[in-house]
Amino acid sequence: MSEGRILAVKIDGKLFDKLDELVEQENITKQKYVSELISKDIGLRMQQKAEQDKELDIKHTDGIKTLDRNEVMDAIDDFMLKNRRIPKQTEFKNENGLPSYGAAGRALEMSPAEYMRERYDELMISQEEQDAGMGMNM
């Protein structure tokens, strides 16, 4: 358990009297009541903020286009298919057709490295099958 700290708050006398009545009815201490109230409120606010952030889908920020999840996946897949390798973290730049590493992670909701590990073999197998099929047609 973490070290306790003291919170002194001045409140209206009538409100304080109501608090006295409530804690007596509930058979709890003011400290426990206030601690639980603050804990629940903070948890609720954090949950609401997380939901708002998740629902926020901004396509343009300061005139710079941001990519959505599918666009980031396509960009990474294109890089891996063209170069037949996983891009380095330092290669996550517009000039390589990739968003920044941080932007890719936010859009993917996972680390780009994790996505690339899962996807690389799948792409290479598919590409090899396509290459073999083209060789047969010639």
**pLDDT value of position 92:** 93
**pLDDT value of position 88:** 94
Digit-coded pLDDT (tens) for 77-136:
999 999 989 999 999 998 999 999 988 999 998 899 999 988 888 888 777 777 776 665
Which residue would you say has higher pLDDT here, 89 or 137?
A: 89
Q: Which phi and psi (to 5°) does residue 61 adopt?
A: -130, 120
Entry pTM: 0.50
**What is the Cα Rg of the chain in Å?**
27
Digit-coded pLDDT (tens) for 5-60:
888 989 999 999 999 999 999 999 999 999 999 989 998 998 888 777 665 544 44
> How many angstroms separate the CA atoms of 67 and 65, rounded?
7
Residue entry with tokens 């037949």? 84
Beta strands in the chain (DSSP E): 60-61, 64-65
Residue 85: half-sphere exposure toward Cβ, Cα within 13 Å: 5
Residue 114: half-sphere exposure toward Cβ, Cα within 13 Å: 7
**pLDDT value of position 87:** 94
